[in-house]
Amino acid sequence: MFKSATTSKTAGTPMRNGSELATIIGHDATLEGKLTVKHDMRVEGQVKGELSSTDTITVGSTGKVEGLITAENVVVGGQVDGTIKASGRITLEAGSRFTGDLEAARLVITEGATFNGHSTMTASGSAAGSASRQIRLDSPGEARAAGSAS
């Protein structure tokens, strides 16, 4: 006879690692300044400034970031102009565009991504004692250390 009141709980958008997405900057949003979170973040809008997370920051296909991104892992599907520092991995997906400096323990550049800049590979989980190595992309899918024999 009486219906119990129920509250609707919207489930979070799952990320690749199975955790819930806690912060999203939507495609119609513009952010200027600094944003620091302790969970995953996704950018589909425009950001000018600094983004920081202890987890993963994903710049989606409609996202554009000008500035500094610092996180454990960073995935770029859109456009980033500036600096990315990751204690883990940086992934540049097909169709993404990056201009600037990268610093990470692991770097993945998918065929179809555009990378113009400088990369520094660090010891896994540490920014200290980094070693710099420049690579030259001769053709899609082919990378070789600068100055190495053909």
What are the pLDDT digits (tens) for 103-112?
Answer: 999 999 999 9
**Helix-strand-coil percent breakdown of the chain, rounded to 5?**
0, 55, 45
Of residues 123 and 14, which shows the higher confidence score? 123
pLDDT above 70 (res 9) = no
Separation CA 96–CA 22 (nearest Å): 23
Instruction: Report whether 47 contacts 64 (CB < 8 A).
Output: yes
Nearest alpha carbon to residue 65 among 85, 84, 46, 52: 46
Model confidence band, residue 128 (pLDDT cutoffs 50, 70, 90): very low
